[in-house]
Structure 1
Amino acid sequence: MFATVDWLSAFPNHVLKPLSSDCSDHCPLLLHHHVYNGAKQRFKFEPYWIKLPGYMEVVAAAWASTPIGADPFRILDHKLRNVAKALRSWSNSKLSNIRMQLAMAREVILCLDGEQERRPLDSWEFNLHRALKRQVLGLASLSRTIARQRSRILFLAEGDANTKFYHLQACHRNRHNHIDSIISDGSQLINDREMEDALYNHYVVVEAALQFEVS
């Protein structure tokens, strides 16, 4: 299948599947749009988090929480969910919205540039202007790093980053990482809850078999 960049940007959550070829040498293709509508937003770990101060403390505090009376699978699930929630909250408070911060800093710099054309800036204005320029450089570099890490296209230099290109690559990875159905006991499951229960029950049976062998 061939598609333009604009089409891929308009339909990032599409899935293309081959159908039965029947008696022909060729098989038809089925194109699904918006296959992830209604699904829960997945947690995405950002590699740059480990470089920020306070990361290990957040993970350690969240991992220490243990529910009482739960089986090992539920305990692990609780810990992972708790860490994900804590990291997401910590990241939001630490970085907030990068694009918004960039826009606000650039707007203030533009106002100070205009004032500098009409009069000499006061010392506090000059210091603010210089500090905002440093902040913009740091935020812009962080934004490009995030886009590059999410796309995993690491063969380009950071200065050559194209955010739209990286975004398309990240969407392509998400489509391949998505599990749209599984086969359990001869039946095809497509509902998220049904797939979760099937996987959980499978590993419960495996654990019981291992315990029986050990005993």
Structure 2
Amino acid sequence: MANFNEFLSRANLIDQNIQNEMFTWDGPDGKKSRIDRVLVNLEWLNLWPDAVLIAGNKNTSDHNPLIWGKKSLFWGPKPFRFFNGWFEFPRFLEVCKQLWCSYDIHGYAAHVVLNKCKLLKKDLKKWSVENGVKNKLELASLECYIYDLKKTQEVRNLVPFEVSKLIDFKARYKSLQRQENRKKMLQSRVNWLRFGDKNTKFFHNMARIKNNASVIAGLQIGEVWCENPAQINHMYWACSVSSLRPKKLFN
């Protein structure tokens, strides 16, 4: 197996995971093995990022046919991503408080909190886009102001009022630049680039390989291979609730 893995590494090939079976061959005396494999390269994964490999039924053969499928499951809405850089924006907490208090929702406490969080998420996304546009316009204006004052400084000495303005413009420019840099850092996952490989293409390829290997296209429920997210969620919560029930320790 070590030689096979070394061959894959040298040939830049990926051994595609099979979603619903651990073995693809049944031999005599109950022997099992995964001797049927599908090897792909990064170019293929880039062309077909949603492809998953599924083992079909053996029927009369002792091998499972391997079938390509597509992972198009919807497991629900994506989690809301909060940017730490938002705290550096002036009046951010005040904006959140005003939005939260403006929602007129009635009912029991959990219902109110849940629906207010949904509305706040939507409004914060909109606020982030609008504020980002304003920041870019303000940065461009500040660059012009700073440039003009520096050009003036080359011709004559600045008066105290102009010196004060230049200091304020530079401080505000640095603050906005820091906000933009933090936003870009969080969006582009620079933490990985700082501590890992600097090659962006390599990073995306490794992330795609990892995602392709860990994707769950379905689950085996009893004797049935299920790819319906609603049924899988129902079975998951049913098993979770049953595992949380108190067990009888003594007769």
Q: Give deviations 1:118-164, integer Å, cap 9, x for gaps.
A: 75697476323541233213421442245327x8566238xx585x7
**Kept after mapping to 2: 8 A contact 1:20/1:27:** yes
Write the distance in 1 (CA, Å) between the matches of 2:199 and 2:82. 18
Write the distance in 2 (CA, Å) between the matches of 1:107 and 1:156. 33
Q: CA deviation at 1:3?
A: 3.0
SS of equivalent to 1:200 = helix
| Amino acid across the alignment from 1:133 | K
Q: Which residue number corresponds to residue 180 of structure 1? A: 217
SS of equivalent to 1:211 = coil
CA gap 1:187/1:20 in 2 versus in 1, 3 angstroms: closer
Unpaired stretches in structure 2, ≥5 consecutive residues: 1-39, 98-108
When the two structures are aligned, how many residues end up with a matched partner? 186
TM-score under structure 2 length normalisation: 0.46
Write the distance in 2 (CA, Å) between the matches of 1:170 and 1:46. 22
Write the distance in 2 (CA, Å) between the matches of 1:193 and 1:47. 31
Match of 2:72 among 30, 35, 47: 35
Match of 2:196 among 143, 146, 156: 156
- % same residue: 9
SS of equivalent to 2:237 = helix
Match of 1:3 among 20, 42, 59: 42
Write the distance in 2 (CA, Å) between the matches of 1:101 and 1:24. 65
Bigger radius of gyration among the two: 2
Write the distance in 2 (CA, Å) between the matches of 1:21 and 1:15. 19
RMSD, aligned α-carbons: 5.4
Structure with the higher fraction of residues in helix conformation: 1
Q: CA deviation at 1:181?
A: 0.9
Q: Which residue number corresponds to residue 235 of structure 2? A: 198
| Amino acid across the alignment from 1:108 | S
Unpaired stretches in structure 1, ≥5 consecutive residues: 59-64, 68-78
Write the distance in 2 (CA, Å) between the matches of 1:147 and 1:170. 13
| Bigger shift: residues 95-104 or 185-194 | 95-104
